[in-house]
Amino acid sequence: MTATPSRSEGSLGRSDASGARRRAGRLSLGFGAATIVAGLALVAAVDSLPLVYQYLPLVATVVVFGLPHGAVDHLVLPRARNDPVTSRSMAAVGVLYLVVGTSYAAVWFLAPALAFALFVLVTLFHWGQGDVYALLAFTRDGTYLESRAARALSLVVRGGLPMLVPLVAFPEQYAFVAGTLIGLFDPAAAAALEPVFEPAVRAAVGLGFGALVVASLVLGYRRSAGDALEPWLIDVAETLGLVAFFALVPPILAIGLYFALWHSVRHVLRTLLVDDPAVAALADGNDLAALGRFARDAAPLTVAALGVLGGLGLLVPRTPATVPDVAALYLVCIAVLTLPHVVVVSLLDLEQRVWSTP
Count CA atoms within 13 Å of residue 258 on its CB side.
28
Helices (H), the chain: 6-12, 14-45, 51-54, 56-60, 73-80, 87-96, 102-110, 112-137, 148-169, 171-183, 199-222, 229-248, 251-258, 265-272, 276-283, 287-315, 323-351
Within its chain, how far is the Cα of 155 from the centroid?
Answer: 11
pLDDT at position 357? 78
Enumerate residues 6+ apart whose C-beta is below 8 A from 219.
Answer: 149, 150, 153
Q: Distance (Å, rounded) from C-alpha 18 to C-alpha 229?
A: 20
Q: Which residues contact 204 (CB under 8 A, 6 or more apart)?
A: none
Read off φ and ψ for residue 205, nearest 5 degrees.
-65, -45
Cβ atoms of residues 134 and 266 within 8 Å: yes
Determine the pLDDT at residue 47. Answer: 77
**Beta-carbon count within 10 A of 58 CB:** 21
Ligand-binding annotation for 341, yes or no, is no
Residue 299, C-beta contacts closer than 8 angstroms, at least 6 positions apart: 68, 71
The upper half-sphere exposure of residue 42, i.e. CA atoms within 13 Å in the direction of its Cβ, equals 21
Least confident range from 135-139, 163-167, 219-223: namely 219-223
Contact between 346 and 129 (Cβ < 8 Å): yes
* DSSP state for residue 262 in the 8-state scheme: I
275-288: pLDDT as tens digits: 999 999 999 999 99
CA pseudo-torsion sign 212, 234, 8, 341: positive
Query: What pLDDT is attached to residue 167?
Result: 98
Q: Which of 10-19, 59-68, 90-99 has the lowest mean pLDDT?
A: 10-19
For 202-224, give one letter per residue: b (16+ CB within 10 A) or e: beebbeebeeebeebbebbeeeb
CA distance 17 to 273: 8
Closest listed residue to residue 184, CA positions, set 53, 60, 57, 315: 315
Is residue 69 predicted with pLDDT exceeding 70? yes
Reported as a single tens digit per residue, the pLDDT across 125-156 is 999 999 999 999 887 655 688 889 999 999 99
Please write the tens of the pLDDT for every residue from 108-125. 999 999 999 999 999 999
> How far is it, in rounded angstroms, from Cα 123 to Cα 117?
10
Tell me what pLDDT residue 230 has: 84
User: How far is C-alpha 170 from the chain's CA centre?
Assistant: 21
- Dmax (CA) for the chain in angstroms is 59
pLDDT range class, residue 224, cuts 50, 70, 90? low
Q: For residue 170, report the phi and psi dihedrals to the nearest 5 degrees.
A: -135, 65
The reply, when asked if residue 74 is annotated as ligand binding, is: no
Q: What is the mean pLDDT of residues 11-19?
A: 70
